[in-house]
Each structure stands twice: as structure tokens, then as C-alpha cells.
């Protein structure tokens, strides 16, 4: 029931994460809020949405479900639900992004980087757009690994339609396509910034391969910076308009990506079995002893649940821990 109620709120205009939080704080659960008369919801719309999604081969994941990614809580206004076609991956993730209009150099670099990461069991996250995004996804597929695409439309109105076959290949290879938009939602310009915050939240780091100076790529970068993610940029020809944005990012402090192996050394992905990030070492040490729930961890280290949730999210996307049911386990 709680899952359906969360989906009802997701589909209902005027309800978002803040109102959801308030209801949970005041009533403990959405079901209790309905019993107390604080919510008057019609379940039929959500039930039809679940049925229709199932017919199309999609799954709906809600914020109250155990399979909801903790990394989404790092995003502004986490979605109350999202739609999944394929699989959501437990591997570490890196966003590889850039402009739709790009050079051959940018396209080749995105493909090679996607393949390189994929071969090392690092999932490539991007937006399924033409140009850099598509090249990164295709590189990941070539590397026989997994990739995740986050859409600015609903799954059944996939945009761009010319990438339908690429989306199918992503799912067939064991990857996933994600959208927070209800079925029947066509892409709109204002939807892509919302999409970009989820790309940033999912990823351990963000790599900008090519971007013009006013590219929408910078929306993802800004979200990632707000979440404390590392930003990398591929240096390009100073005379090329396609590289001005990436070169500008380097001037402003982004780490230049000039060697793939060296880039990998910046990411805490190969020391997973040894120790967790220093600031979360206490939590990681506890989980190495035994699986624990977030509430148990909060009690044991005398921290609030918000801090623990953020820590677990960061540990998960870094590949240190994973969720099994209600408990977290160290990898």
C-alpha cells in the first residue's frame, strides 16, 4: 500500500519530496496520513500506471521501496518514483557526458572512455542523447559492460526516437533505462535539467568530453559540484567551439583527463576491499563486521539518520557497500 501511495503522490500535481517528508515526519507513513484524513487519494490512477508499465516491460520503483537507490537522496528534490526498463546496477558508476553536436575527436574519445570503464566493471551513466552521450553508451556496450541511460521523457516516449535501438541494446546487455516521468510524457526542454540532476546523483564522478560554452552539460556539472562529486574534463583544440566548454572547466578547476589509467587512479574503485573513504570509515568498519540497517548504524555511531543515509549513498556509488533487503553489507 505504501508503494502505491508514494506513486499516487508522484503522479499528483503539487506534491514532491518536501511534502512527502513532511507527511512522513508528522504521521510516520503515508498509509497513516490517509487514515488520519491528511491525505485524500484516489489509488486507481496509480494502479493503472503500474499495470500499463508492467505491460510495456517497465518496473516502477518508489521512494519507500528497498530497491530505491540511496544516491538519489543526494539530488535536489529526489523523485518519489521512477520508471526502470532493464536493470539497476550495483557497480560503481561514472557519468560521461557532453554536447549533442560534437567533433569526431569527441565522439571517439567518449566511445573509448566508455569502453575502457566498461571493461573494468564501472558502469557508464549518460543521457542517451545524440553525440557524446550515444558514443559513451556504445563504447560501454563494446566493452561488454553495463550502462545506464537517464531520460528527459517517459520510457514509452523515448527521446530521441532515433536511439530506440541503442536503448534496446542497453537493456539486452543487462543495463538499464531510467525516467522519472509518467508514461505518455514527451520530452520538453525543461525536463532535461531534471534529468541531469539524476545523472549527477547516480555517478561517482562526472567526465565532460566536449561541450560548447553554453551547453546544457553545465547543468549536470553544477549539480555534481553541489553534491561534492569530482569533475573531469577532456582538453580539446582551443580553436574548436566544441571544446570551449571543457577547456573552460579545466581553467576553473576541473581535473584534466589526459590518460585513462591515470583517471582511474583518481577514483576510489580499486581499493574497495581494503577500506572505505576516510570520513565514512567508522560506518564501513561496522559493516565489515556484520550487515546493519541504517537505523542501527545511526544508533551505534550516535549520528542522525540523514548523515548515515548520505554516507551510505556515497559508499554505495563508490562500490564499497550494497543494500540487501533492509540491511547494508560491505563488499
- Tell me what the mean pLDDT of segment 295-303 comes to: 85
Instruction: Indicate the domain borders of the chain.
Output: 2-86, 93-266, 278-330
Please say whether the beta carbons of 53 and 24 come within 8 A: no
**Cell output for 82:** 521512477
Among candidate residues 127, 138, 241, the one with its CA nearest the CA of residue 195: 127
- Give residue 185's pLDDT band: very low, low, confident or very high (50, 70, 90): very high
Return the pLDDT at 289: 81
Whether residue 135 is preceded by a cis peptide bond, meaning omega within 30 degrees of 0, is no
Q: Is the pLDDT at 229 greater than 70, yes or no?
A: yes
Return the pLDDT at 165: 98
Torsion of CA 13, 18, 19, 21, to 10 degrees: 140
Return the pLDDT at 270: 41
Q: What element of type H or E holds 183?
A: none
- Give residue 268's pLDDT band: very low, low, confident or very high (50, 70, 90): low
- Give residue 271's pLDDT band: very low, low, confident or very high (50, 70, 90): very low
CATH topology of domain 278-330: Arc Repressor Mutant, subunit A (1.10.10)
Q: Is the pLDDT at 278 greater than 80, yes or no?
A: no
Return the pLDDT at 277: 52
Task: Report which of residues 160 and 27 the model is more confident about.
Answer: 160
Return the pLDDT at 269: 57
Q: Is the pLDDT at 90 greater than 80, yes or no?
A: no
Q: What is the largest CA-CA distance in the chain?
A: 64
User: How far is it, in rounded angstroms, from Cα 156 to Cα 186?
Assistant: 9
CATH of domain 93-266: 3.40.50.450
SS3 at position 150: strand
Average per-residue pLDDT for the chain: 90
Please provide the size of the chain in residues: 331
Q: Is the pLDDT at 319 greater than 70, yes or no?
A: no
Return the pLDDT at 259: 93
pTM metric for this prediction: 0.79
- Give residue 231's pLDDT band: very low, low, confident or very high (50, 70, 90): very high
Would 93-266 and 278-330 be classified into the same CATH topology? Answer: no
Percent over 70 (pLDDT), the chain = 95
Residue 311 CA: distances (Å) to CA of 58, 191, 204, 248, 297: 30, 28, 13, 31, 11
Q: Is the pLDDT at 56 greater than 90, yes or no?
A: yes
User: How far is it, in rounded angstroms, from Cα 15 to Cα 18?
Assistant: 8
The angle formed by the CA atoms of residues 149, 155 and 156, to the nearest 5 degrees, is 145
Amino acid at each position: 500500500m505504501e508503494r502505491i501511495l508514494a506513486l499516487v503522490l508522484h503522479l499528483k500535481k503539487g506534491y514532491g519530496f518536501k511534502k512527502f517528508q513532511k507527511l512522513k515526519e508528522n504521521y510516520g507513513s503515508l498509509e497513516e496520513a490517509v487514515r488520519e484524513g491528511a491525505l485524500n487519494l484516489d489509488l486507481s490512477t496509480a494502479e493503472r500506471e503500474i499495470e500499463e508499465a508492467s505491460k510495456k516491460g517497465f518496473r516502477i520503483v518508489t521512494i519507500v521501496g528497498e530497491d530505491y537507490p540511496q544516491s538519489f537522496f543526494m539530488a535536489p528534490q529526489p523523485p518519489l518514483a521512477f520508471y526502470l526498463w532493464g536493470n539497476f546496477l550495483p557497480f560503481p558508476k561514472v557519468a560521461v557526458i557532453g554536447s549533442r553536436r560534437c567533433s569526431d575527436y569527441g565522439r571517439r574519445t567518449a566511445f573509448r572512455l566508455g569502453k575502457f570503464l566498461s571493461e573494468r566493471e564501472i558502469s557508464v551513466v549518460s543521457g542517451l542523447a545524440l553525440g557524446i552521450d550515444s558514443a559513451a553508451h556504445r563504447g560501454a556496450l563494446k566493452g561488454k559492460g553495463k550502462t545506464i541511460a537517464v531520460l528527459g521523457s517517459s520510457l514509452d516516449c523515448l527521446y530521441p526516437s532515433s536511439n530506440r535501438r541503442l536503448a534496446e541494446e542497453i537493456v539486452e546487455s543487462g543495463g538499464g533505462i531510467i525516467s522519472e516521468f509518467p508514461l505518455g510524457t514527451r520530452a520538453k526542454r525543461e525536463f532535461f535539467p531534471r534529468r541531469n540532476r539524476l545523472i549527477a546523483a547516480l555517478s561517482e564522478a562526472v567526465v565532460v568530453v566536449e561541450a560548447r560554452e553554453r551547453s546544457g552539460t553545465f547543468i549536470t556539472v553544477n549539480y555534481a559540484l553541489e553534491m561534492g562529486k569530482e569533475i573531469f574534463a577532456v582538453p580539446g583544440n582551443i580553436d574548436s567551439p566544441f571544446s570551449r566548454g571543457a577547456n573552460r572547466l579545466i581553467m576553473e578547476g576541473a581535473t584534466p583527463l589526459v590518460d585513462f589509467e591515470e583517471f582511474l587512479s583518481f577514483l576510489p574503485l580499486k581499493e574497495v576491499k581494503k577500506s572505505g573513504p576516510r570520513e565514512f570509515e567508522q560506518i564501513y568498519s561496522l559493516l565489515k563486521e556484520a550487515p546493519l540497517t541504517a537505523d542501527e548504524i545511526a544508533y551505534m555511531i550516535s549520528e542522525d539518520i540523514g548523515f548515515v543515509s548520505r554516507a551510505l549513498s556515497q559508499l554505495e556509488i563508490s562500490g564499497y557497500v550494497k543494500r540487501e533487503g533492509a540491511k547494508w553489507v560491505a563488499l
